[in-house]
Amino acid sequence: MAQKTNPKSRVHDLLGAVLGLFAAIVMATSPWQVDTSGPYPFYKGALIFPLMALGLMVMGSVPSFIRLLRPGATDSWHLDGGGLPRRPAVVLSMAVAFIIGIPMIGLEISCILFTASMLYYLGHRSPKIYVFWPLLLSGVFYLVFKYFLDVYFPTPLLLEYLGG
C-alpha cells in the first residue's frame, strides 16, 4: 500500500530537470524547427510565443536542476513506497498493442483481446467476467461507433491477407 507522497523526494527534481532539459533542447533547436524566413517581424512571427513558453519551463526547472546536482543531506529518492509502477506499465503496453491491433486485426477482435487480457491480468479469474465483458464492450463499440456514428475504421490487414 502506498504511503503519502513525499514532497521532497528527488524524483520531483528529476522530473523537473528532465522537462527543463527537454525545453532547453527544443528552445536551442527552435530556429530549425520553425521557419522564420518569412516577411513577419519577430513580434508578429511564429516563434515569439513558443520561446516564452519554453522560457517559462526552463525558468521553472532551475531549482530542480540545482537540487539534483547538489542534494541536501536528508534528501532521498523515496516517493510514496508504492514501488515501480509495474501494473500501469503492463496495462499501458496492452493499450499500445490495442491501438496497433485496430488496423491489424480490426476493432472488435482487438477490443476483445485487450479487455480480456487486461481483466485477466488485473485479477479477474472468472470467465463470466473476462469473457462476458469483452464481448459486451466489443458489441457496444460496434453499435455505437460503426453503426450509429458511422466512424471509419481501417479494413484489418489480416482480413485483407486472408481474403487474398
Partner 1 sequence: MIEYMSQALVTTFTCSNITALVLGTLIGIVVGILPGLGPMVGMVVLLPFTFALPPAVALSLLLGVFCGGYFGGAVPAILMRTPGVPSSLVTSFDGFPLTQKGEAQTALSAALVGSLGGGIISVFILIFLAPALAHVAASFGPPEYFAAGLLGVVLVVMAYREKLAKGLILLGLGLWISTVGIDGPTLVPRFCFGTLAMQNGLHLVPVCLGLFGIGQTLMLVERKILVNARMSLTRRTLDFSKIAATLKYWKSLILSGVIGTFVGLLPGTGSILASFLSYETVKKVSGRAEAFGKGAPEGCLASEAGNNAVPAGAMIPLLTLGIPGDALSAVLLGVFTINGIYPGPLLLIKEPVLINTLYLSMLLINIVAFVILAIWLRPFAMVVRVSNTLLASIIMSLSLVGIYAVNTRLFDAGVALVMGTLGYILLRLEWPVVNLVMGVVLGEILEERLRESLSMSEGNPLIFLERPISLFLFVATFLIIVIPVLWDSRKARIRARNKGRDFS
Q: Burial level of 20, CB count in 10 A (0-12/13-18/19+)? A: buried
Residue 75 C-beta: closest distance to partner 1, Å: 15
The smaller minimum CB distance to partner 1, of residues 56 and 159, is found at: 56
118-124: long-range pairs with CB below 8 Å, 24+: 118/91, 118/94, 121/87, 121/90, 121/91, 121/94, 122/87, 122/91
The smaller minimum CB distance to partner 1, of residues 39 and 164, is found at: 39
Question: Cα 23 from chain centroid?
Answer: 18
Neighbouring residues of 163: CB distance < 8 A, sequence distance ≥ 6? none
In this structure, are residues 122 and 87 in contact, taking their beta carbons and an 8 Å threshold?
yes
Residue 164 C-beta: closest distance to partner 1, Å: 25
The smaller minimum CB distance to partner 1, of residues 46 and 159, is found at: 46
The smaller minimum CB distance to partner 1, of residues 74 and 81, is found at: 81
Residue 112 C-beta: closest distance to partner 1, Å: 10
The smaller minimum CB distance to partner 1, of residues 34 and 159, is found at: 34
Residue 63 C-beta: closest distance to partner 1, Å: 5
Residue 136 C-beta: closest distance to partner 1, Å: 10
